[in-house]
Amino acid sequence: MKKIFSIKDIAYIGMAVALIESCKVALSFLPNIELTSFWLIMFALFMGWKTFIIIPVFIAIEASLYGPHVWIIMYLYVWPILVAMTLVFRKNRSALFWALLSGFFGLAFGLLCTPAQVIFFTKPQTIEKALKAGFTWWVAGIPFDVAHCIGNFALMLVLYHPIRIAVSRIRHEQNT
């Protein structure tokens, strides 16, 4: 029977989660400026579908540090959307393309999180009232989504090529 994950894969996943978490903590003083989106895109480009395993491990670490909340549910479906989008376009090598995708994802983050907010924090009432509550929650967060968009765009634009080159060199050295 063929192994799905090698020991090397498991080590890479552990290092990826550690890198995402340490970057998240390092930038936590900035509102909605994060490297999680950047790293998930980069890992998806280099590790493919195995990046989906990073997400629940990252969420488990986050939950152990910050306690359970609705964001756990949000992260379980929002981050895989980013990884899936990356895998669809993985052949693209343009820093501008990835910066635009990452920025768009940051801008859409609040909208993507809205369904969980509505389900968990809206009292049972009519669909119309629940939709209005969700819309209000999303609109109130737009300034944070704009910051998220700008941060994601800028970080990807600046870091894409240097990280891609560094990882390519490391891979080349490992194969020689």
Q: What is the DSSP string of 64-127?
A: HHH---HHHHHHHHHHHHHHHHHHHTTT---HHHHHHHHHHHHHHHHHHHHHHHHHHHS-S--H
- Domains for the chain: give ranges and CATH numbers: 7-175 (1.10.1760)
Q: pLDDT confidence of 171, banded at 50, 70, 90?
A: confident
What digits encode the pLDDT tens for the residues 25-57? Answer: 999 999 999 999 999 999 999 999 999 999 999
pLDDT at 124 over 70: no
- Spatial CA neighbour of 27 closest among 152, 167, 161: 152
Task: For residue 1, name the pLDDT band (cuts at 50, 70, 90).
Answer: low
The per-residue pLDDT for 126 is 76
Using DSSP's 3-state secondary structure scheme, residue 171 falls into helix
Residue 156 pLDDT exceeds 90: yes
The pTM assigned to this predicted structure is 0.93
Average pLDDT, the chain: 93
Q: Which two tokens stand for residue 99?
A: 């910066």
Distance between CA atoms of residues 47 and 69, nearest Å = 29
Residue partners of 153: CB distance under 8 A and separation at least 6: 99, 100, 102, 103, 106
Distance from the Cα of residue 154 to its chain's centroid: 15
pLDDT band at 17; cut points 50, 70, 90: very high
